[in-house]
Every structure is written in C-alpha cells, then in structure tokens.
C-alpha cells in the first residue's frame, strides 16, 4: 500500500515535470524551427551564431526575454493584464495530460479525454480577450474583439468534425481511439473511406480550424502586425509576451497532437512495424512543420472572409459530414 502510494507520487511528479519540459522544449525549439524554416523558405540562413546551426538560440532568446523590463502602461487593469498570459498558457498545458504519446505513456487515461481537451482548449480565447481588453489600447481591443469572433466561429466546425470522428470510434478515450487505428495506415481514421468517404476532407477542415483556433497565419487576426501593430499583444513586453508566445506554440503542439490521435493513428506505425512514441512524435512534428510551412506561404485573409469561410463553408460541410457518417453507420 505504502509502496504504491510512493510510486503514484513519483509517477505524478515525473509526468508533471515531463509535460512541463515537453511544453518548454517545444515552445522554444518550435520557435527555432519556425525561424530556421522561414529562413530556408525565403532562401536565407536564419539564426546561426548561437551554438552550432544556432541550436542554442532558444536559450539566448529566453534569457533575453527574462532580462527585459516588463512595461505596464498607464490605465492598465494590472491584475487582468498579468492574468491573461497565464490564462492562455495553463489550459494548453493541462490538456497535455490526456495526450497518449505511446501505448503506456499518458499522464492520465481519461474516458472523456477528448472532451476535456476541447473544454480546456476553449479557454485560450478568454486569455487573449482579457489581455486585449486590459491593455487599454485600441489596437489590442480591436484584436481582442476579432479573436472572440474568430474563435467562436471556428470552435463550431472543429467540434462538428470531432463529433463525426467520435461517432465512428464510439469513444472519447484518446488511448482507445488510437488503439482502434492499429494495423497500418489504411486503418487510420483519415483513410477510413469505408466508414465515411469524406474523411480526408474532414481532416483538412480540422487542420484549417486548427490554424484558426491557434491564431496562426493566415488566420493570425490576433497579431495582424500590418494592421493592428501587434494586436492583443501590443502592450506586452518581456516575459509576459514570452508567455503568450509559449502559449501559441503549446497550442499548436496540442492541436497537432489531437490531430495525430484523431486522424493519423497516434503512436501506431503506418506499416505494421513496432508502434511507439517515436511514430507519434514524427507525425506530430510533421504537422507542426506544415503549420509553419503554411504560415510562410500565404498572406493573411481578411477578417470577414475568415468568418465567411467558417460559417458559409466549413460549418455546412462539417454538418454534411456528420449526416453522411450517421448514414454510413446506419446503412453498413
């Protein structure tokens, strides 16, 4: 009994540290990947000076951000101002708890894991709204208002797509969803055309929603630097901005993790070799790279086209997707 208790404590500590390290590592090294990637997309070098190939650049960045003064503008609602970055980052970290990195590697194996992810993921919009509002800056206010409209618009198709997947899998348990996709890439949900011929389209739509939900270019209304200076982050400096930045990348990682679990078979091997966490990470980082790739390929969409895309295209198609899935389930 006592031994079990100690083991459980050790397990919890291990996972807390592990997840925090994972989040911190990803946030810093995805920034590096973004900088390096964007540089290579644009025929430049990117950071090269700190460490070999600039590999220690994230450390330098972190030190710089930590050393910077945190400016608090006049008329700012200080409590909300500082609460906002934490409110954005924390839910994203919390969601990591349920992600199954491998058959046995998951902090908690919930039955309602998927539900929890989306419940917490919806929080980040509060953070940005509060941050933008508390900043007492017109650009930040405009950006905050945009972000709320954008997140509401994209929450709906995301959930509709996920519902269709859940109808196929019949469970909210992420570990189980992965387990069902064993046996090769044709068993992955993205290619289960026998269950629903629209599945690849659903994945694509999920990916678009992922970009919009994480406020990534071409849907980066929250920053929109050529329109709103730095949007909701305009007044944030030093590490407060750093936390927003971390949150952005953590959200991307989370979104990609969920996409991997739901559509790409999680830690399963595509062609019957040894499954394991390496497959999960490979798929997840491939998705992250695609997110970066998309960002450096396109201009930003207009705000109303962004909403049009959601309300006029994504939502109707995802509804059709649900109906089709239901029909297929009923018929076959």
Partner 1 sequence: MRNTIQEIISGAYSLAVGMKITICNLFRPTVTLHYPHESATMPARFRGHVELACDPETGKPKCVVCMACQRACPSGCISLDGQKSESGKGKVLTAYSLDFSLCSLCGLCVESCKFDALRFSKQYNLAFTRREECTFNLLERAQVKK
Partner 2 sequence: MSLDVQNLDRETFVVNLGPQHPATHGVLRIKLTMDGEYIVDAEPVLGYIHRMHEKMGENRSYAKFLPNMGRMDYVAALFNSHGYVAAVERLAGITVPERAEFIRVITCELNRVASHLLWLGAYLIDLGGFTPMLYAFDDREMILDLLEAVTGARLTFCYFRFGGVANDVDENFVSGTRVFVARMRSRMPMYEAFVSKNIIFRKRCEGIGVISAETCRRYGATGPVIRGSGVAYDVRKAEPYSAYPRFQFNVAVSDLCDNMGRYRVRVDEIVESLRIIEQAIDQLPGGPVMAEKVPRSLKPPKGDCYFNVESARGSFGVRVVSDATENAYRLKLRSPCLSNLHLFRECSRGMLLPDALAMLGSLDLVIPDIDR
Query: Is the CB of residue 192 less than 8 Å from the CB of residue 297?
Result: no
Please report how close the Cβ of residue 16 comes to partner 2 at its closest, in angstroms: 37
With contact defined as beta carbons under 8 Å apart, do 244 and 86 qualify? no
Q: If phi over 0 gives left and psi between -120 and 50 gives alpha, with beta otherwise, what is residue 105? A: beta
DSSP 34-55: HHHHHHHHTT-----SSSGGGT
Nearer to partner 1, 87 or 209 (CB): 209
**What's the Cα-to-Cα distance from 137 to each of 148, 228, 249, rounded to whole Å?**
17, 10, 25
Return the residue of 2, 304, 330, 331 that touches partner 2, per CB under 8 A. Answer: 304
Q: Count Cα neighbours of 51 within 13 Å in the Cβ-side half-sphere.
A: 9
The residue (of 143 and 292) whose beta carbon lies closer to partner 1 is 292
Least Å distance, CB 316 to partner 2, is 19
Which of 12, 14, 16, 42: binder of partner 1 (CB under 8 A)?
42
324 binds partner 1 (CB under 8 A): no
Chain residues 201-240 in contact with partner 2, contact rule CB under 8 A: 217-218, 220, 224-229
Q: Which is nearer to partner 1, 36 or 146 (CB)?
A: 36
Select from 17-25, 36-44, 99-107, 115-123 the region that touches partner 1 (CB under 8 A).
Answer: 36-44
Q: Which of 186/298 has CB closer to partner 2?
A: 298
CB 178 within 8 A of CB 259: no
Q: Which does 186 bind (CB under 5 to 8 A by kind): partner 2, partner 1, none?
A: none
Residues 86-105 contacting partner 1, CB under 8 A: none
Dist. CA 257–CA 119, nearest whole Å: 16
Rounded Cα–Cα distance for residues 142 and 277 (Å): 42
Q: Which residue has the tokens 């109808």?
A: 167
Q: How far is CA 324 from CA 132, 166, 318, in A?
A: 40, 14, 10
CB-wise, 5 or 75, nearer to partner 2? 75
Contacts of 88 (CB under 8 A, 6+ apart): 123, 124, 127, 128, 131, 243, 244, 247, 251
Please report whether residue 42 would count as binding partner 2 according to CB under 8 A: yes
Residue 254: CB minimum distance to partner 2, A: 24
Give the distance, in angstroms, between the CA of residue 137 and the centroid of all CA atoms in the same chain.
27
Contacts (CB under 8 A) with partner 1, residues 263-302: 293-294, 296-298
Residues engaged in binding partner 2 (CB under 8 A): 38, 41-44, 138-139, 142, 145-146, 217-218, 220, 224-229, 296-305
Residues engaged in binding partner 1 (CB under 8 A): 37, 39-45, 48, 293-294, 296-298, 313
């Amino acid at each position: 009994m006592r031994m079990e208790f100690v083991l459980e404590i050790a397990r919890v500590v291990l996972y807390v540290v592990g997840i925090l390290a994972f989040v911190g590592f990803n946030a810093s090294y995805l920034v590096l990947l973004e900088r390096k990637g964007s540089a290579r997309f644009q025929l430049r070098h990117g950071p090269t000076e700190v460490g070999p190939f600039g590999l220690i650049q994230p450390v330098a960045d972190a030190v710089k951000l930590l050393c910077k003064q945190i400016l608090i503008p006049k008329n700012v609602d200080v409590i909300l101002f500082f609460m906002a970055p934490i409110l954005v980052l924390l839910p994203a970290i919390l969601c990591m708890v349920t992600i199954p990195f491998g058959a046995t590697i998951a902090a908690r194996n919930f039955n309602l894991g998927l539900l929890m992810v989306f419940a917490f993921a919806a929080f980040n919009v509060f953070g940005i709204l509060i941050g933008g509002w508390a900043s007492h800056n017109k650009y930040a206010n405009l950006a905050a208002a945009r972000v709320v409209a954008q997140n509401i618009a994209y929450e709906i198709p995301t959930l509709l797509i996920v519902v269709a997947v859940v109808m196929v899998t019949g469970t909210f348990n992420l570990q189980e969803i992965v387990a069902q996709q064993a046996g090769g890439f044709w068993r992955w949900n993205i290619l289960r055309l026998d269950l629903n011929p629209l599945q690849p389209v659903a994945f694509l739509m999920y990916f678009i929603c992922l970009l919009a939900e994480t406020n990534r270019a071409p849907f980066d209304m929250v920053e929109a630097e050529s329109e709103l200076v730095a949007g909701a982050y305009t007044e944030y400096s030093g590490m407060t901005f750093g936390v927003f930045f971390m949150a952005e990348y953590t959200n991307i990682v989370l979104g990609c993790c969920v996409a991997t679990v739901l559509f790409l078979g999680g830690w399963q091997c595509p062609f019957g070799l040894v499954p394991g966490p390496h497959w999960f990470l490979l798929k997840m980082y491939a998705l992250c790279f695609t997110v970066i790739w998309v960002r450096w390929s396109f201009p930003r969409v207009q705000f109303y086209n962004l909403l049009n895309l959601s309300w006029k295209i994504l939502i109707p198609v995802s509804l059709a997707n649900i109906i089709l899935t239901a029909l297929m389930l009923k018929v076959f």
